[in-house]
Amino acid sequence: MTLNVDLAKTTGQASPPTQRVIAVMEMLGADPGRQFTLAEISRGLGISRATGHAILATLVAHEWVTRDPLSARYAWGPAIASLAKPADLFRDDLADLAAATGTQVYLARRDAGSLVIIDIAGETLAAPRIGRGTKTPFVAPFGRDYVAWSSPEVQQAWLEAIGQPSAALRGRISAVLNETRNRGFVVERLTREYLRVYSALQALSDDGEVDAITAQLARAFADLSVIDVLPDELGAGATHSIATVSAPIMTVDGVVTMSVTAAPFATLEASAITGLGDRVRATAAAIGERLNRYGDQA
């Protein structure tokens, strides 16, 4: 491959030496499994061998780049992985969303049978305090943003893990999953039952296992609650008490592995719910693009 440093594109206080370092890292990072000779790097970037050697020697010293002692070839280094944690890669996106919405925002990851919060930004005074590492079980009706794009078989297994659902619940969940795919976000209603059940489920999910008690509690909540908000419930002038709005983060293969959530814990008009959902969805898409570009290093 050939990458060229176009210094004509730099403006203001841009530093040409820094641009050359970035170009070296981008060249190696574009094919991290390959080893490059000094000549290939220098020729590909249009820099002198002396400049290339000086840059690479510094990067090797910090383990951003490795140098094979036998072949003298260079490759992507192990220190880069330690810099590319989601908490670092996506913190600006979360902070921007929190500032724009005035809510607490958090990034969650699916880890086997649990959804684990891995980063947080902002604050919602009315919301319960949630910290990094907080877990909730991946059990219906929670995790809808993770299963809405899955196969019918996966969706059925997720729903039936809490026991055989009633016809009414099955119908509601089916409609909600369809709507989630259409609009791209999930809405969690704020009710007294939600607050109690959510806290209880967090306590039950410390070991990451969905046991009989967890399943029964989730089923009772699903049977007694109105899950999500559908289009005919978002008419003009309608208001709803909203706990959270979440959107999925997808891999290039369409698999949902993470999600972004904004937690207003407030009564919102229909237009505000839709607007918040669109903002959360846009942030999730931006994070997904970066995740797919740099890889999931967590």
* Closest residue by Cα to residue 102 from 233, 230, 287, 275: 275
pLDDT at 145 over 90: yes
pLDDT in tens, 71-120: 999 998 877 765 655 556 788 899 999 999 999 999 999 988 889 999 99
pTM of the model: 0.72
**What is the rounded CA–CA span in Å between residue 287 and residue 205?**
26
Domains and CATH numbers, the chain: 7-83 (1.10.10.10), 86-294 (3.30.450.40)
pLDDT in tens, 189-223: 999 999 888 888 877 766 556 678 888 889 999 99
pLDDT at 4 over 70: no
Average pLDDT, the chain: 87
Tokens of 149: 């794009």
Q: What angle do CA 100, 226, 257 make, to 5 degrees?
A: 55
* Closest residue by Cα to residue 37 from 4, 18, 65: 65
pLDDT band at 53 (very low <50, low <70, confident <90, very high): very high
Q: Which residue has the tokens 């992985």?
A: 81
**What is the rounded CA–CA span in Å between residue 91 and residue 247?**
16
